[in-house]
């Protein structure tokens, strides 16, 4: 499995063309899709056209950037002009965006080769990709199991080398949780670092786009290509984008003594023993590399889950009000009047989990309940944020398991929404505080399923997160294992 | 803590037509989810300010300037139903006011 650095080297040395690399990726997709179902749409012609442009540039002697000619998957909740964007929902089954999202525009400009749009839980609501209205994606390590979610298609596609890297979005763990379950690197950047213009909104105070990759270096390269201020996104941060590759150093203490905090509260009830052991072994590894290990208490951490499941559905109920069957998307057949057009369009167009969250959000925002639920949750959000602020006075990064368990079987949790929600227990507080979080492989369970280590940094400290992740990755071999398909 | 009548009312507010079996299922599921939220009441938040966004940026404004939009037709093309008359291009919806009975 080639890295971006390998492919880039092959391109500039003219050992292989971008078209050959794209063809290889498309062939892998064709071979594996019957088993995996990671892609909702494969954009082969467009990929080859883009690859030819990169080859022309190389032939003309022009310098190419890191992302040029790199096969890339895009989660199907990012708008691609002229290419159907479904969000995994029936309500957008025929939606062809008239505009391009900033991230895909940036990638296209950088010469990246989009090979297709990846599967997701409908409107990014879910933790297993089983809520897609179209197909269930399989976990490449065990086809009976889920890839996690909501960016399960992107995670599975990268794990199976259907593409080199992919974009996902993360509202409560939707990049890091599937990355952990599929044994790849997934990074949710600081809230506002990557523009969300053209990302179909779920919960706007939490949504963030980020990379999937098979190595920390590839993730750093992709992050560099998509990060940065965008006037089209009013929550975009006006910050300079550093060269993320400059932070990748196998020596953790190159600058100063690195301090790693362990979030105590994540090692409690509900955590699989083998996951806990793998994460503690990773902590030992950090210690062996010379890091100072600090035990950190985040007492409000466990309130993250109920807080999130008030805030996110509340925001979702408002964001999804736009799907009314008037201007685009699905409309129910032959409604009697305008009201029944709304109610039937939405009843037929949305799946069960989306309806459930719209219902929760509508309830928690309704008159008489707003203070008890929404306002209360916003206040608890402040407390959770303060826990992290105090922690980062003592350490450079925090570590904990990404998920309490390894990948579960398809169908195992679909009837019990609350037990499904629990798989995001350890990723959600990071979104509530707007912090960068990365998951990378730190072991395998007895069935050979990958285990994820989550590394969390302070606001805009992607540098420290990447530094810790890279040093750990270089000292271990987990990332070299590949699923046998 | 949430009854079927409330679920019915909330569905109407959310513009969702629920089948009777969905209504029953949501009554149970929303009940247990709302019960799960109860643990937040363990925390005293009387002196805590709410957080709307983790990283706040100050009011972002731009010039309210008109700009031509090139993709007008492709927006109209997306409409489930449309009509072009002498007055212009329209999104078409079912009638809003019913005939008197």
> Smallest Cα–Cα separation from A43: which of A73, A87, A77?
A73
What is the β-pairing status of strands A292-296 and A259-263?
parallel
Quick one: average pLDDT of B37-64? 91
Strand, coil or helix: A333: coil
Write down the pLDDT at residue B76.
93
> Does any CB of chain A come closer than 8 Å to the CB of residue B69?
no
Domain-embedded: residue B17: yes
> H-type helices in A43-131, by residue range?
44-59, 102-109
DSSP structure class, residue A227: B
Asked whether the beta carbons of B53 and A235 are under 8 A apart, the reply is: yes
Q: What percent of chain B has pLDDT over 70?
A: 96
Write down the pLDDT at residue A253.
87
Domain-embedded: residue B90: no
Taking the CA of residue A13 and the nearest CA in chain B, the distance in Å comes to 41
Is cis: bond before B77, omega within 30 of 0? no
Provide the strand spans (E) within A355-410: 397-401
> Smallest Cα–Cα separation from A86: which of A171, A200, A191?
A200
Provide the strand spans (E) within A76-203: 113-118, 165-170, 185-188
Write down the pLDDT at residue A41.
98
Taking the CA of residue A303 and the nearest CA in chain B, the distance in Å comes to 7
CB pairs under 8 A between A and B: 165
Note down pLDDT in tens along chain A; length 485 residues.
899 999 999 999 999 999 999 999 999 999 999 999 999 999 999 999 999 999 999 999 999 999 999 999 999 999 999 999 999 999 999 999 999 999 999 999 999 999 999 999 999 999 999 999 999 999 999 999 999 999 999 999 999 999 999 999 999 999 999 999 999 999 999 999 999 999 999 999 999 999 999 999 999 999 999 999 999 999 999 999 999 999 999 999 888 899 999 999 999 888 999 999 999 999 999 999 999 999 999 999 999 999 999 999 999 999 999 999 999 999 999 888 999 999 999 999 999 999 999 999 999 999 899 999 999 999 999 999 999 999 999 999 999 999 999 999 999 998 888 888 888 999 999 999 999 999 999 999 999 999 999 999 999 999 999 999 999 999 999 999 999 99
Provide the strand spans (E) within B52-95: 82-85, 88-91
Beta bridge partners of A212: A166, A186
Is cis: bond before A150, omega within 30 of 0? yes
Domain-embedded: residue B30: yes
Q: What is the CA radius of gyration of chain A?
A: 21
For the record, the structure tokens of A73 come out as: 């998957």
Taking the CA of residue A301 and the nearest CA in chain B, the distance in Å comes to 12
8 Å CB contact of A337 and B95: yes
Asked whether the beta carbons of A362 and B10 are under 8 A apart, the reply is: yes
Domain-embedded: residue B10: yes
Host domain of residue B16: 4-41
Residue A233 CA to residue A102 CA, distance in Å, equals 9
Write down the pLDDT at residue A215.
98
Q: Which of B2, B44, B55 to mutate to test the interface with A (most CBs of A within 10 A)?
A: B55
Domain-embedded: residue B11: yes
Among partner residues A309, A331, A362, which is closest to B13 by beta-carbon distance? A362
Catalytically active residues of A are 75, 150, 174
Determine how many CB atoms are found less than 10 A away from the CB of residue A281: 14
Chain A CB contacts of B34 under 8 Å are 360, 363
Cβ within 8 Å of A, B 8-37: 10-19, 22, 26, 29-30, 32-34, 36-37
8 Å CB contact of B45 and A383: yes
For the record, the structure tokens of A244 come out as: 């993320």
Asked whether the beta carbons of A271 and A445 are under 8 A apart, the reply is: no
Phi (first) and psi of residue A401, to 5 degrees: -65, 150
Taking the CA of residue B88 and the nearest CA in chain A, the distance in Å comes to 16
Q: Name the one residue in this structure whose structure tokens are 């494969």.
A: A42
The number of C-alpha atoms within 13 Å of B3 and in the hemisphere containing its C-beta is: 1
Chain B CB contacts of A317 under 8 Å are 14
Write down the pLDDT at residue B4.
96
Binned at pLDDT 50, 70 and 90, residue B22 comes out as: very high
Cβ within 8 Å of B, A 441-480: 459
Asked whether the beta carbons of A147 and A129 are under 8 A apart, the reply is: yes
Q: What is the CA radius of gyration of chain B?
A: 23
Domain-embedded: residue B23: yes
Write down the pLDDT at residue A262.
98
Q: Can you say whether the dihedral through the CA atoms of A349, A358, B31, A434 is positive or negative?
A: positive
Write down the pLDDT at residue B101.
57
Among partner residues A235, A325, A359, which is closest to B10 by beta-carbon distance? A359
> Smallest Cα–Cα separation from A448: which of A20, A144, A100, A226?
A144
For the record, the structure tokens of A254 come out as: 């190159």
Residue B85 predicted with pLDDT over 70: yes
Domain-embedded: residue B29: yes
Q: Can you say whether the dihedral through the CA atoms of A266, A295, A208, A407 is positive or negative?
A: negative
Write down the pLDDT at residue A419.
86
8 Å CB contact of B79 and A235: no
8 Å CB contact of A380 and B45: yes
Domain-embedded: residue B51: no
Write down the pLDDT at residue B40.
97
> Does any CB of chain B come closer than 8 Å to the CB of residue A433?
yes
> Does any CB of chain B come closer than 8 Å to the CB of residue A393?
no
Among partner residues B45, B49, B79, which is closest to A327 by beta-carbon distance? B79
> Does any CB of chain B come closer than 8 Å to the CB of residue A193?
no
CATH of the domain at B13: 1.10.20.60
Which chain B residue has the Cα nearest residue A239?
B57
> Does any CB of chain B come closer than 8 Å to the CB of residue A321?
yes
Number of domains in chain B: 1
Taking the CA of residue B85 and the nearest CA in chain A, the distance in Å comes to 17
Asked whether the beta carbons of A88 and A120 are under 8 A apart, the reply is: yes
């Amino acid at each position: 499995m080639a890295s971006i650095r390998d492919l880039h080297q092959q391109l500039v040395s003219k050992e292989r063309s971008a078209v050959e690399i794209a063809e290889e990726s498309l062939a892998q997709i064709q071979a594996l899709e019957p088993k995996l179902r990671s892609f909702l749409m494969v954009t082969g012609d467009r990929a080859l056209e883009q690859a030819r442009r990169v080859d022309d540039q190389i032939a003309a002697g022009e310098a190419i950037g890191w992302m040029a000619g790199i096969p890339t998957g895009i989660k199907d909740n990012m708008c691609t002009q002229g290419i159907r964007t479904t969000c995994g929902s029936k309500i957008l089954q025929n939606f062809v965006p008239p505009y391009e999202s900033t991230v895909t525009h940036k990638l296209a400009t950088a010469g990246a080769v989009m090979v297709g749009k990846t599967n997701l839980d409908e409107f990014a609501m879910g933790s297993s990709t089983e809520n897609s209205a179209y197909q269930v994606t399989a976990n490449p390590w065990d086809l009976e199991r889920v890839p996690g979610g909501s960016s399960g298609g992107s995670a599975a596609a990268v794990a199976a080398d259907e593409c080199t890297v992919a974009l996902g979005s993360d509202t409560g763990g939707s990049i890091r949780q599937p990355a952990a379950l599929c044994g790849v690197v997934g990074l949710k950047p600081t809230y506002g670092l990557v523009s969300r213009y053209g990302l179909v909104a779920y919960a706007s105070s939490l949504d963030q786009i980020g990379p999937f990759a098979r190595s920390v270096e590839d993730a750093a390269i992709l992050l560099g290509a998509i990060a940065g201020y965008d006037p089209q996104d009013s929550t975009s941060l006006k910050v300079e984008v550093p060269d993320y590759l400059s932070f990748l150093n196998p020596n953790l203490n190159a600058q100063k003594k690195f301090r790693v905090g362990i979030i105590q509260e994540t090692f409690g009830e509900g955590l699989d023993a083998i996951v806990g052991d793998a994460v503690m072994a990773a902590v030992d590894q950090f210690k062996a590399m010379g890091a100072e290990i600090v035990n950190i208490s985040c007492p409000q951490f466990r309130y993250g889950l109920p807080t999130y499941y008030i805030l996110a559905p509340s925001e979702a109920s408002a964001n999804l009000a736009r799907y009314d069957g008037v201007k685009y998307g699905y409309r129910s057949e032959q409604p009697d009047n305008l009201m029944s057009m709304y109610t039937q369009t939405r009843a037929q167009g949305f799946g069960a989990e989306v309806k459930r969250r719209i219902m929760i959000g509508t309830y928690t925002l309704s008159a008489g309940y707003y203070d008890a639920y929404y306002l209360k949750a916003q206040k608890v959000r402040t407390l959770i944020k303060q826990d992290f602020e105090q922690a980062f006075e003592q350490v450079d990064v925090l570590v904990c398991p990404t998920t309490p368990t390894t990948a579960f079987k398809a169908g195992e949790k679909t009837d019990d929404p609350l037990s499904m929600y629990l798989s995001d227990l350890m990723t959600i507080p990071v979104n509530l505080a707007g912090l960068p979080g990365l998951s990378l492989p730190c072991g395998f369970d007895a069935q050979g399923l990958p285990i994820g280590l989550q590394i969390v940094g302070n606001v805009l400290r992607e540098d420290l997160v990447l530094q810790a992740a890279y040093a750990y990755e270089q000292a271990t071999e987990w990332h070299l294992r590949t699923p046998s398909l | 803590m949430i009854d079927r009548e409330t679920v019915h009312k909330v569905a109407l507010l959310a513009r969702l037509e629920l089948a009777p079996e969905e209504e029953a299922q949501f009554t149970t599921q929303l009940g247990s989810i709302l019960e799960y939220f109860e643990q937040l009441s363990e925390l005293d938040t009387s002196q805590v300010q709410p957080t709307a966004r983790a990283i706040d940026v100050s009011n972002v404004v731009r010039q309210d300037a008109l700009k031509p939009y090139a993709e007008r037709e492709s927006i109209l093309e997306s409409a489930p139903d449309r009509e072009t008359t002498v007055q212009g291009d329209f999104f078409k919806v079912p009638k809003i006011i019913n005939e008197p009975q």
